C-alpha cells in the first residue's frame, strides 16, 4: 500500500516535471465512451510496466486465449515504444501484483456489451486508467484484445517523454456496432504470398476489423476466350493445393502449384490472423466463376459456350463440388465459409436455388459450418427459395435481390454494396469501381447526407436502407477485386489501395454513422490516420525504414563486388541513382565446382534485388518477386522496352511514389508501366509502383561496372 502511494507520487512528479499533459486522444475506430477523471494523476507507461493477465481467465478464449492475446500485445507494445526490456507477461491478480511499477491488467467479465442489434457480444471491453494500473476488462478474450489496440493507438497518438508515456486517468467502455467487419481480397485472379495475407490481417486488426474474406477460386472474365476455342488459355486459379493423392489433385495443374497455398501454409496464415483477432472466411466460388473446374474435368461439366458456368444438372457436377469441399473443409478454422454462388445463368433459377440449399446442408452436416452466398437475384419459379440460415452478402444494387426485402423475408444480410464498397486493383473499367474507398461517400454518402454505415445500401433512396439496429443485418465487408490479373498490380500496390480504406471502413463498421456522438468527424480522421498507419505494429507493409538525418540510406561510389546492405525493401517515395556500364556479352563464363567453367547465355543479370522487387539489366525491367512478372522500362506506355547500352556508362535516376515509378536517363523520362486487358474489350496502360530493391547490389550475375549508387528517401 505504502509503496503504491509512493510510486503514484513519483510518477505524478515525473509527468509534471516533463510537462506532459495527458488526455484521451480520438482514435480509429472511435471509442464509444470515455470519462476523464481529470483530478487524478495519469498512468505512466514505462519500460518497467508489467503486463498481468488475470489468472482466473488466462486460458479463456477460443481460438486464442486471453494470455495468447496478451503475449502478442506485449510484442506490439515493445515495437511501438521501443521498450525492449518490458517485463514478460505474467498471470496474477490485481491484488497481489507487484506494486512497484504501474501495470496493465487484462481480465474478463465486462457485462452489457451488445451489438446495435441488441445481441450480446464478446467483442466489447471496459477500461479503467488510474496511476497504478491500466485495466482492460473484456466481455470476451476478443474484446480484451480490442482493448489492447485502443491502448496501442493512444501510445501512437501521445508524445512520450523520458519518464514514459502518460495516459489521462479515467474510464471508458467500447463495443462494435456490428458482428461482421472486414474486407474481401480477390486472391484468385491475382496470386498473393501467404506472408502478404498474414500482414493484411495484422494491419486490419489494428483498426479492430475481424473478418478477412478470401476469394480463392475464379477466372479472369474475357468473353472472347470463354466463348471461343482457346478458353483453356484464360487465367484461372484454385488456390488450395490438394495433397498429391487426393481425388481433387487434378484441380491444380502442376505448372500452377507455385501459385497455391499448401495446407501448412494456410494453417499458418489462419493462426497468425487468429492471433490478431481476425478470422479468414474462405470462398470457393461455384457454380459460376468456375473455369478451374472445367479446365480439370472438361467442358461437359460446363454450360454450352460458357465453361465458366457449371451445368448443375450434369450428374458429375455436384459430386465434384462436394469432393472439393471434402478436401478443404478440414483446413478451415472459421465457423463459416462462402460458396460464392454469384452471377449464374438466370434461366436456371430453381436449379441454382436447389444447389445452394444442397451445398449448405452438405457443408453443415460435414463440418458444422454455416455458409454465405453472394446476393444474386436468380429468378426461380417461386416454388423454391434459399434456406433462411444462408447469409446473403449483398453487392449489386439493384441487380441482385433487394436487401431490405431479404431482411423482411428473414435472411441475414452482409452489406458489400459495390457503389460504396468495391475496389478494383489499380484501375477499373471507366471508373466502374474505385481505387480507394471514396471518402466523400463514406463521410456523407447516406441519403440524408450523413455518413455511410452497414445499414446504408443506397445513397439515393432511404426506403432501400435499414436501421443500424436491424437484428438480421450482420455487418459489412468491403472488397478489392483483381479483375485484370497478376500483371495489373504488385501486392504492395493492393495494400496502398487498402491502407486508408480499411481505416475509414473500420470506423464506420465499428461505430456506425449517426448512432454515437463520439464518432469521428472526417477532419479528426484525417488528422490521425497517417500517424496510426505508420504506427500499426506487427507488419511493415509500408516497407518503412528509419530515416537518416540526410535521408540517404546508402551511397557507394563504386561497387566492384556483389554487396549486401542492411536494408531489404524500401517503400516509396525514394530516389535510386546509379551509373552502370554493362558488358556486351551474349554469353558469360560461370565457374564450376571442379575448377573449370562454362559459357551460359547472358541476359545482363540483376543490378539490385530485395524482398519485393529486382531490377534487371535487360530492358531495365523491374521484377515483382511475388508473381515473377517483369515490367520493362518504356518511353511511352505501349512503346518499345528501353535498352541499356552495353560498354558505355549510363547514369540512371529512378523516382518512385506509390502511384508511379520513372527513370531519368540522359534528360529523358521513361516509365515503368503495364497494360491491362479490360474484359478482353480494350487495353489500358497504367503506371507501376515498385519498392526499392535494396538488399543486394550487383545481385545475380551482373557483369560490367556499377557505381555512383545512392538510395535517398523522397522522390
CB 695, CB 611: distance < 8 Å: yes
- In whole angstroms, the minimum distance from the beta carbon of 303 to ligand NAG comes to 5
Whole-angstrom CA distances from 604 to 312, 424, 549 are: 52, 35, 35
DSSP secondary structure of 596-648: -EEEEE----EEEE-SSEEEESGGG-EEETTTTEEE-EESSTTSPBP-PPTTS
Residue 692 CA to residue 637 CA, distance in Å, equals 21
Which among 694, 426, 421 has a CA at the least distance from the CA of 544? 694
Query: Cβ closer to ligand NAG: 100 or 544?
Result: 544
Query: Cβ closer to ligand NAG: 163 or 709?
Result: 709
CB 182, CB 210: distance < 8 Å: yes
Residue 248 CA to residue 320 CA, distance in Å, equals 8
Q: Backbone phi, then psi, for 228, in 5-degree steps? A: -110, 180
Residue 258 near ligand NAG by CB under 6 A: yes
Pick the stretch among 6-14, 494-502, 545-553, 605-613 that binds ligand NAG (CB under 6 A).
Answer: 545-553
Query: Cβ closer to ligand NAG: 229 or 315?
Result: 315
Instruction: Check 343, 378, 417, 493 and give the catalytic one.
Output: 343
Among 255, 383, 546, 592, binds ligand NAG (CB under 6 A): 255
- In whole angstroms, the minimum distance from the beta carbon of 361 to ligand NAG comes to 4
Residue 404 CA to residue 449 CA, distance in Å, equals 20
Cβ atoms within 10 Å of 90's Cβ, excluding its own: 16
Query: Cβ closer to ligand NAG: 438 or 677?
Result: 677
Among 627, 634, 688, 692, binds ligand NAG (CB under 6 A): 627
Residue 377 near ligand NAG by CB under 6 A: no
- In whole angstroms, the minimum distance from the beta carbon of 111 to ligand NAG comes to 29
Residue 258 CA to residue 262 CA, distance in Å, equals 10
Q: Quick one: residue 85, left, alpha or beta (phi over 0 = left, psi -120 to 50 = alpha)?
A: alpha
Judge whether 705 counts as a catalytic residue: no
- In whole angstroms, the minimum distance from the beta carbon of 555 to ligand NAG comes to 4
CA 85 vs. chain centroid, Å, equals 31
CB 402, CB 414: distance < 8 Å: no
Query: Cβ closer to ligand NAG: 79 or 389?
Result: 389
- In whole angstroms, the minimum distance from the beta carbon of 220 to ligand NAG comes to 6
User: Considering only residues 313-372, where is the footprint of ligand NAG by CB under 6 A?
Assistant: 313-314, 360-361, 364, 370
Residue of this chain nearest to ligand NAG (CB atom): 463
Total residues interacting with ligand NAG, rule: CB under 6 A: 40
Residue 413 near ligand NAG by CB under 6 A: no
Among 485, 491, 537, 538, binds ligand NAG (CB under 6 A): 485
State the cell numbers at 320. Answer: 465434384
Residue 673 near ligand NAG by CB under 6 A: yes
User: Considering only residues 171-210, where is the footprint of ligand NAG by CB under 6 A?
Assistant: 191
Which among 621, 596, 616, 611 has a CA at the least distance from the CA of 692? 611
Residue 639 near ligand NAG by CB under 6 A: no
Query: Cβ closer to ligand NAG: 130 or 634?
Result: 634
State the cell numbers at 247. Answer: 481425388
Query: Cβ closer to ligand NAG: 234 or 644?
Result: 234
Q: List the catalytic residues.
A: 343
Q: Which residues bind ligand NAG (CB under 6 A)?
A: 191, 220, 235, 255, 258-259, 303-304, 311, 313-314, 360-361, 364, 370, 387, 389, 398, 402, 461, 463-464, 485, 487, 548, 550, 552, 555, 627-628, 637, 660, 671, 673-675, 677, 685-687
Amino acid at each position: 500500500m505504502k509503496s503504491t502511494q509512493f510510486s503514484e507520487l513519483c510518477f505524478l512528479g515525473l509527468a509534471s516535471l516533463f510537462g506532459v499533459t495527458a488526455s484521451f486522444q480520438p482514435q480509429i475506430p472511435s471509442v464509444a465512451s470515455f470519462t476523464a477523471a481529470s483530478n487524478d494523476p495519469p498512468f505512466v507507461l514505462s519500460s518497467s510496466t508489467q503486463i498481468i493477465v488475470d489468472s482466473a481467465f488466462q486460458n479463456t478464449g477460443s481460438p486464442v486465449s486471453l494470455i495468447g492475446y496478451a503475449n502478442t500485445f506485449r510484442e506490439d507494445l515493445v515495437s511501438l515504444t521501443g521498450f525492449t526490456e518490458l517485463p514478460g507477461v505474467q498471470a496474477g491478480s490485481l491484488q497481489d501484483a507487484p506494486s512497484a511499477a504501474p501495470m496493465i491488467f487484462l481480465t474478463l467479465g465486462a457485462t452489457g456489451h451488445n451489438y446495435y442489434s441488441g445481441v450480446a457480444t464478446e467483442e466489447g471491453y471496459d477500461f479503467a486508467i488510474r496511476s497504478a494500473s491500466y485495466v482492460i476488462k473484456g466481455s470476451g478474450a476478443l474484446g480484451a484484445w480490442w482493448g489492447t489496440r485502443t491502448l496501442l493507438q493512444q501510445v501512437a497518438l501521445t508524445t512520450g517523454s523520458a519518464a514514459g508515456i502518460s495516459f489521462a486517468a479515467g474510464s471508458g467502455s467500447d463495443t462494435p456496432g456490428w458482428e461482421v467487419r472486414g474486407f474481401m481480397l480477390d486472391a484468385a485472379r491475382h496470386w498473393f504470398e501467404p506472408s502478404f495475407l498474414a500482414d493484411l490481417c495484422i494491419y486490419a486488426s489494428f483498426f479492430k476489423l475481424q473478418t478477412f474474406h478470401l476469394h480463392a477460386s475464379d477466372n479472369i472474365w474475357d468473353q472472347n476466350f470463354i466463348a471461343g476455342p482457346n478458353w483453356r488459355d484464360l487465367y484461372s486459379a484454385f488456390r488450395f493445393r490438394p495433397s498429391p493423392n487426393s481425388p481433387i489433385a487434378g484441380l491444380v495443374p502442376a505448372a500452377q502449384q507455385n501459385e497455391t497455398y499448401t495446407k501448412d501454409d494456410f494453417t499458418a496464415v489462419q493462426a497468425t490472423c487468429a492471433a490478431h483477432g481476425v478470422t479468414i472466411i474462405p470462398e470457393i466460388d461455384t457454380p459460376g466463376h468456375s473455369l478451374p473446374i472445367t479446365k480439370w474435368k472438361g467442358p461437359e461439366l460446363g454450360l454450352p459456350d460458357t465453361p465458366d458456368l457449371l451445368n448443375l444438372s450434369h450428374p458429375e457436377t455436384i459430386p465434384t463440388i462436394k469432393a472439393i469441399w471434402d478436401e478443404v473443409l478440414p483446413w478451415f478454422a472459421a465457423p463459416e465459409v462462402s460458396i460464392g454462388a454469384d452471377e449464374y445463368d438466370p434461366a436456371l433459377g430453381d436449379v441454382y436455388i436447389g444447389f445452394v440449399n444442397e451445398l449448405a446442408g452438405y457443408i453443415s452436416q460435414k463440418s458444422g459450418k454455416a455458409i454465405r452466398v453472394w446476393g444474386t437475384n436468380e429468378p426461380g419459379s417461386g416454388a423454391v427459395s434459399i434456406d433462411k440460415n444462408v447469409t446473403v452478402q449483398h453487392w449489386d444494387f439493384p441487380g441482385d435481390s433487394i436487401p431490405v426485402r431479404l431482411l423482411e423475408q428473414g435472411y441475414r444480410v452482409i452489406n458489400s454494396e459495390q457503389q460504396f464498397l468495391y475496389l478494383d486493383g489499380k484501375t477499373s473499367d471507366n471508373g466502374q469501381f474505385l481505387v480507394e474507398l471514396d471518402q466523400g461517400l463514406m463521410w456523407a454518402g447516406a441519403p440524408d447526407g450523413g455518413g455511410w454505415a452497414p445499414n446504408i445500401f443506397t445513397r439515393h433512396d432511404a426506403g432501400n436502407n435499414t436501421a443500424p439496429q436491424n437484428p438480421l443485418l450482420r455487418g459489412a465487408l468491403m472488397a478489392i477485386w483483381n479483375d485484370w490479373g497478376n500483371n495489373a498490380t504488385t501486392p504492395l500496390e493492393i495494400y496502398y489501395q487498402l491502407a486508408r480504406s480499411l481505416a475509414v471502413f473500420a470506423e464506420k463498421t465499428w461505430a456506425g454513422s449517426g448512432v454515437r456522438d463520439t464518432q469521428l468527424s472526417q477532419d479528426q480522421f484525417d488528422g490521425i490516420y497517417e500517424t496510426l498507419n505508420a504506427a500499426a505494429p506487427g507488419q511493415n507493409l509500408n516497407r518503412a525504414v528509419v530515416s537518416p538525418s540526410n535521408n540517404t540510406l546508402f551511397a557507394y561510389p563504386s561497387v566492384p563486388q556483389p554487396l549486401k546492405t542492411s536494408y531489404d525493401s524500401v517503400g516509396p517515395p525514394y530516389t535510386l541513382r546509379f551509373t552502370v556500364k554493362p558488358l556486351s556479352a551474349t554469353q558469360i563464363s560461370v565457374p564450376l565446382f571442379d575448377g573449370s567453367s562454362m559459357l551460359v547465355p547472358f541476359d545482363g543479370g540483376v543490378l539490385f534485388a530485395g524482398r519485393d522487387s529486382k531490377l534487371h539489366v535487360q530492358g531495365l525491367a523491374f521484377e515483382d518477386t511475388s508473381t515473377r512478372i517483369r515490367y520493362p522500362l518504356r518511353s511511352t506506355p505501349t512503346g518499345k522496352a528501353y535498352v541499356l547500352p552495353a560498354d558505355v556508362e549510363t547514369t540512371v535516376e529512378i523516382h518512385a511514389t506509390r502511384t508511379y515509378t520513372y527513370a531519368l536517363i540522359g534528360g529523358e523520362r521513361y516509365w515503368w508501366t503495364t497494360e491491362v486487358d479490360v474484359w478482353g474489350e480494350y487495353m489500358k496502360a497504367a503506371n507501376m509502383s515498385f519498392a526499392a530493391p535494396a538488399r543486394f547490389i550487383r545481385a545475380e550475375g551482373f557483369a560490367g561496372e556499377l557505381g555512383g549508387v545512392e538510395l535517398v528517401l523522397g522522390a
